Structure 1
Amino acid sequence: MTPAALPADWPFKAQSSLVSTGRQRFWVIDTGPPEHSGDTPALLLLHGTGASGHSFARTIPGLAQHYRTITPDLPGHGCSAKGFAGRLGLDAMAQDLWTLCDTLQVQPQAIIGHSAGAAIGLRMAELRPVPQVIGLNAALGEFDGAAAFLFPILARGLATLPFAASAITAFFGRPGTVDRILAGTGSPLDAEGRARYLTLVRDPDHVTGTLGMMAEWRLQGLLNRLPQTATKVTLIASEGDRAVPAQVSIDAAKRIPGAKLHLLPKLGHLAHEETEDGLSALILKVLAQNGSPETPPRT
């Protein structure tokens, strides 16, 4: 998808731009307090598989009152869909996101990751020090049984088939189908939220990138290393999540030294898209409790 193809009312379109890191280009929402400078503490927000930076549309305003917020479309997704072939696995994505941070001259005070974005955030924290990682319905579990073997193979096969993405967009790119998929996560969303996902599902480049990420996704190494995690970690999980059950975060928190756990009743997988403030008040509270300034220091 090109930025020009985004609807005029796409979240934070005016605060976004294509950032070249040399071999790739990321579409990045970059916003913060009025007249923020290079000294303003920064947060990196990472969405989940199949979404885009728009996922944090309700979260960003609350956080951007106090922090510079950097919210890229992940490699292969949204307007960052092209140029990442062969670099859609966990390690490569973490490396390329650090390259983006270097290009922007940003050292995140914290990484806030939703679903697969939380796994990427933890991998980034293994590569370089990050004060803390906050996972929202973090996808920190492998597939079970035959799915562990078949799912990547199926995704890889689809990703290499000509016209596969076009066929998927034609099959799934219908309002009723997208509505059912979202409802199946425990987060039905409002009409505006559903329309944004419909826009993504109808874009063949986005679908191709999403399939590529699924095909290259390998999590077991990270899961094995959870007990060696050195950064502060907080996992926020929704008890109504049908995509990544809260038990995944409960189990992961037990394996991460010093991890904190917050359980949210009723909300689903896209809790930050359901709540009015996008969970920004809770995130700010966690940041303050873990030693990050809720309001950046004045110089």
Structure 2
Amino acid sequence: MTFPVVTRTIHRHIDVDGVKIFYRESIPDRPDAPVLLLLHGFPSASHQFRRLIDVLGTRYRLIAPDYPGFGHTQAPDGFTYSFDRLADATEGFIQRLDLSRFVMYVFDFGAPVGFRLAQRHPEWIAGLVVQNGNAYTEGLSAGARDFIALRPETEGAENTIRDLLTLPGTRGQYESGTGDPELIAPDGWTLDQHFLDLPGRKQAQVALAFDYRTNLERYDQWQAWLRKHTPPTLITWGSNDPFFPEPGARAYLRDLPDAELHLFDTGHFALEENLADIAPLIAGFLDRIWT
């Protein structure tokens, strides 16, 4: 009996300026395999890419870190939680691994982290896989706009954010907009909630929620970066995302008219329901652009 090849994945911590960043890395069959950096979203961590790593990890080098405040990464007391600081930590992580060129997968929070990195190091970016990672105002639902508009001084604002950090809120992000909720494994939201309930984690998420407005302030810069550098781009998008709806996917085509766009009848965590559709698209994309 012949069994399929199984991806070998290592799990490590690496110190970046006092932050112990946890990451997963596949071990491909050849040392010169294309590199795909996987930048996770909220409220998740690198574990959201486990199945994708299993499927593609023998052919490509997939690397997925946890940001400070997420997953297994350990940040010191006093760490300032902002998107600039998440990008700083991820930049240091990339430098510690001596990565000089990679395709970047940006999902949700991965987009503001990733586009900050792209601005700082355009030479690193061999291409983009964009999955419900927003960079356009039309990609924000009315609910997302209201949430981003919350300010620390507004009465009840922090409680509104903390309501999203509960188990029903976390589960809802996985199931909302899906075509078949029975295809969504409960492990993802259960593990996310475990990490959210660790000491200090919810306060970190409150700080990031209040800082999200800084991403909107940079949308024009990120769009200009896309027009200038025109990276090869694959867009795979859950059309029923309650936060980042379909217009956010189509907006990329203004600045990247040659981008490849695929829409799926699912929600925010598109890989959960459509891994079998998305993984081959990523593989084909990497094979086409990696030289």
Q: Same fold (TM over 0.5)?
A: yes
1:222 maps to 2:218? yes
Match for residue 82 of structure 1 among 75, 81, 102: 75
> Map of 1:11-160 to 2, 5 A cutoff?
15-34=10-29, 37=31, 39-83=32-76, 85-89=79-83, 91-128=84-121, 129=123, 130-142=125-137, 147-150=147-150, 158=158
Are the aligned partners of 2:185 and 2:272 in contact in 1 as well (CA < 8 Å)? no
Deviations 1:193-234 (Å, cap 9, x if unpaired)?
Answer: 343233233334432332222222211343112033213333
Per the alignment, do residues 223 and 18 of structure 1 end up closer, same or farther by CA in structure 2, a change over 3 Å counting? same
Partner Cα distance (1:133, 1:211) in 2: 29
CA distance in 1, matches of 2:70, 2:153: 20
Counterpart Cα distance in 1 of 2:59 and 2:236: 21
Comparing 120-129 and 135-144, the one that deviates more: 135-144
Q: 1:108 to 1:59 in 2, by over 3 A?
A: farther
Q: CA deviation at 1:154?
A: 6.2
Counterpart position of 2:204 = 209
3-state SS of paired residue (1:132): strand
Query: TM-score scaled to structure 2, two decimals?
Result: 0.78
Query: Percent of aligned pairs with the same residue?
Result: 17
Aligned counterparts of 2:177 and 2:90: Cα–Cα separation in 1? 27
Matched, 1:251 2:255: no
Q: Secondary structure at the match of 2:242?
A: coil
CA displacement at 1:244 relative to structure 2: 1.2
Q: Distance in 1 between matches of 2:113 and 2:149?
A: 21
Cα offsets for 1:95-140 (capped at 9, x unmatched): 3212111111122420111122123222211111211121101122
The structural deviation recorded for 1:153 is 5.8
**Per-residue deviation at 1:88?**
2.3
Question: 1:6: which partner in 2?
Answer: none
Give distance in 2, aligned partners of 1:108 and 1:209. Answer: 31
- Superposition RMSD in Å: 3.3
Distance 1:236 1:180, change over 3 A: closer
Aligned to 1:275, what secondary structure does the other structure show?
helix
Distance 1:149 1:288, change over 3 A: same
Give yes or no for contact 2:132–2:236 (8 Å, CA) kept in 1.
Answer: yes
Structure 1 125/207 Cα, relative in aligned 2: closer, same or farther at 3 Å? Answer: same
Using the alignment, how far apart are the partners of 1:64 and 1:155 within structure 2? 47
Aligned-partner Cα distance in 1 for 2:237–2:65: 23
User: Structure 1 stretch 236-245 or stretch 125-134: which is displaced more?
Assistant: 236-245
Say if 1:278 and 1:58 are closer, same or farther in 2 by CA, change over 3 A: farther
The unaligned stretches of length 5 or more in structure 2 are: 1-6
Cα distance between partner residues in 1 of 2:178 and 2:12: 32
Distance of 1:23 and 1:232 partners within structure 2: 35
Q: Is the 8 A contact 1:41 1:108 kept in 2?
A: no
Kept after mapping to 2: 8 A contact 1:77/1:206: yes
After superposition, the Cα gap between the structure-2 partners of 1:239 and 1:105, relative to the gap in structure 1 and judged at 3 Å, is: same
Structure 1: distance between partners of 2:277 and 2:192:
17
Q: Work out the number of aligned pairs and report it.
A: 269
